[in-house]
Amino acid sequence: MNLGHLNDKQREAVLYTEGALLILAGAGSGKTATMTHRIAHLLEEGVSPYNILAVTFTNKAAKEMRERIENLVGDMPNMWILTFHAMSLRILREYYETVGYKANFVVYDTVDQKTLLKNIIKSLNIDTKLFPQNYLASIISKEKERDVSPDEFLVREGDFGKAKTIYSVYSEYQKQLIKNNAMDFDDLLRYTLHILQQNPQAREKYQRRFKYIMVDEYQDTNHIQYEIVKIMAMGSRNLCVVGDDDQCIYQWRGADISNILNFEKDFQGTKVIKLEQNYRSYGNILSAAHSVIKNNKGRREKKLWTEKEEGNKIVYRRADTDKEEAQFVAQEISLLKSGAGYDDFAVLYRTNAQSRLLEDALRRRSIPYKILSGFSFYERKETKDMISYMRMVLNPSDDLAFKRIVNEPKRGVGPTTMAKLEALGSVGNQSLFEILLRDEIRFSLNKKPREAVTELLDMLMGLRQEAMNMSISDIYDVLLAKSGYMKALEVENTVEAESRIENLLDFRSFIADFEEEKKRNNEDATLEEFLEKVSTDSDADKYDENAGAVTLMTIHSAKGLEFPVVFLVGMEEGLFPSQRSLDSETGMEEERRLCYVGITRAKERLFLTSAAYRMMYGHGDFTIESTFLREIDPRVFDPAGDGVYNPRKNPRNNLGINTGSIDGYNKDAVKPYDPLKYAKTQVVEAAKDRGEDFQVGDQVTHSKFGFGIVIESGAKTITVNFEEGGPKKLAKGIAPLKKV
């Protein structure tokens, strides 16, 4: 393998393979290239892919790393290149019994967690004014990150006052998770640590297997992630961690910067290599970033440099109002658009609340944009509903999912009925699904809800029986059509309902993409893995660099991404740095790191903006310019950018957007292909028949088993003799069969 294109420090890191290694990789310094070449070098030296573990924080980063390594050395089916959560899931799927779970446990995302907490708060009659739901969720998450159980929390804090209420919620929350055979994100890591601590067989297995461990973004690890890595590395002690203390911006969600600052104390004999040559940004951008971050005391000394020229000066605009600030951003994007794509632009802000005016300004100029934030299409109501349906196929003990779908679409199962069912389930320690399988319970319902619930149960039971013989797309199509969900939206016949159908069919495309990716890798696309992906995807995973739109996002969400042109808006005291950070040195240092991350997302051009008057949360006030603006070396600023935008100083061609006609309508044009109509038809056709009217002797095809002949047809099952797989008994109305 040729390492000639790497710089001296990168090559040194690639070739240093034995013992503990800390790679301090500054922003844009080629850390991914270094890591991938290091792994490829190990493989060339004869190390088995089976013995290498690479851990990172996002699915996007893991996928990119695998693709790069495979480009260098070919396929590596046995190598673990995973996120912390995905790695934990693999371990938990094998050793779930160690922590008291069943094999088919599910993962609750943050929305599920909030729903469960809401129900618990209500059942315990807790005053939400004194104990807001988000506050309780935050406390529980922080305790789990410290690996503190409800009982340990009670011992530490005492059984009185505020602590007593928090304990009651935390304790009930964990009981409900176990009852539902579910884990939240924090549990994935926590229980994995418990397995490694309590199960010698598991611990020794992974210590023997992973002789070389690499951890990306080490500055973002929390206490439990640190402990997991430490235990796994105790076998070979060949641990390489890569990170940048200047980019530790997630302390608010558990990241412990001391993990990287104290790495040499924890692992004696550590070699430290600094990657300081930047390949991303021009000189003025790097100078601005360094002049801010150098003011932090809790950091390792390093300074990014580049062989590139200084490039354009940084433009700073002090607008009169926040509306003018947004208009300036939109105006500059329009002017700079010539010779660039909208993908080249990113607008970064400290809080999501800043996006509204920016959206308005971009819309007025017909500039396409997308918002990258925590509210993805996964969290739209209709998508969450269908995900809950899919979860019920995997795990019928999931009461949270069942409560979400039992009356979606309307089946006449109201709150009173659900309360009775929950009471029965609590007494018998049974799930709602199990309760309703009992004839005497189901027949106590009125006729309409009884029939509707019976249809729902039959469909779910049939899907559970057939799931192993069906693709995820097949399962999804059956759920969409036979649940009545899509039909109910069509009957509603509103613009909103049509939009929701589009979202559901867009999600279907997402499933197909997942299956296709698995197929390319010669892997099975399982429902279990798909639901795990949906629940663990992050903002960076959803970024599409070819979307043809300006990206609006928080600076936190932008970490790991880069753009030719970046606008960093809202540079005001109390906004950025945030109000909460102003009272503590550690808070200010994290805000300064966040500013450093924002600046270093820019490759070619950087614009900084503030507003003299800003309206936030319904209140308007005059502002003071950010501390960070005063820290930036004044020599990197464009002298023309003195707060007054003058197009005569910056003559550019404003091309705008050409839609082809004034109103976009051409009466003589042929009507285009209607993908929405086609997709709806596909779902209906895919879920239709499926064996209900098949007779003995009919020739059929199955999406998985191929050609066969019906040899028996019962009330609920159909038996088909397949050319390849022989006779198989399938669920009537569910199995993906078609007449030849």
Catalytic residue ranges = 31-32, 216-217, 247, 601
Residue 151, SS3 per DSSP = helix
Order of strands across the sheet that contains 52-56: 80-83, 52-56, 212-215, 239-243, 21-25, 271-275
Distances in Å between the alpha carbon of 508 and those of 214, 512, 683?
Answer: 35, 6, 9
CA trace torsion 51, 57, 58, 64 (10° rounding): -50
Contacts of 664 (CB under 8 A, 6+ apart): none
Q: Residue 733: how many CA atoms within 13 Å on its side-chain side?
A: 15
Pairing of strands 21-25, 239-243: parallel
Helix (H) or strand (E) holding 118: helix 110-123
* The dihedral sign for the CA sequence 112, 535, 191, 240: negative
User: Closest by alpha carbon to 232, among 253, 261, 252, 212?
Assistant: 212
**Phi and psi dihedrals of 641, rounded to 5?**
-90, 60
Place of tokens 């034995």: 18
How many helices (H) does the chain have, and how many strands (E)?
31, 21
Q: What angle do CA 566, 569, 570 make, to 5 degrees?
A: 165
Q: Residue 605: how many CA atoms within 13 Å on its side-chain side?
A: 17
Q: Residue 27: how many CA atoms within 13 Å on its side-chain side?
A: 28
Distances in Å between the alpha carbon of 452 and those of 92, 291, 406, 443?
Answer: 36, 66, 9, 12
Q: What angle do CA 462, 463, 466 make, to 5 degrees?
A: 90
Using a 10 angstrom Cβ sphere, with 0-12 exposed, 13-18 middle and 19 or more buried, the burial of residue 625 is middle
**Angle of helix 472-482 versus helix 527-536 axis, rounded to 10:** 80
Place of tokens 């550019």: 652
Instruction: Give yes or no for a contact between 331 and 647, defined as CB atoms under 8 angstroms apart.
Output: no
Residue 108 is which amino acid? Y
Contacts of 416 (CB under 8 A, 6+ apart): none
User: Closest by alpha carbon to 614, among 573, 644, 642?
Assistant: 573
Report how far residue 77's alpha carbon sits from residue 84's, in angstroms, rounded to the nearest whole number.
19
Distances in Å between the alpha carbon of 688 and those of 33, 320, 693, 732?
Answer: 50, 61, 10, 11
Chain centre to alpha carbon of residue 518: 19
Using a 10 angstrom Cβ sphere, with 0-12 exposed, 13-18 middle and 19 or more buried, the burial of residue 695 is exposed
Chain centre to alpha carbon of residue 6: 32
DSSP 337-372: TTTS-GGGEEEEESSGGGHHHHHHHHHHTT--EEEE
Place of tokens 């006729």: 447
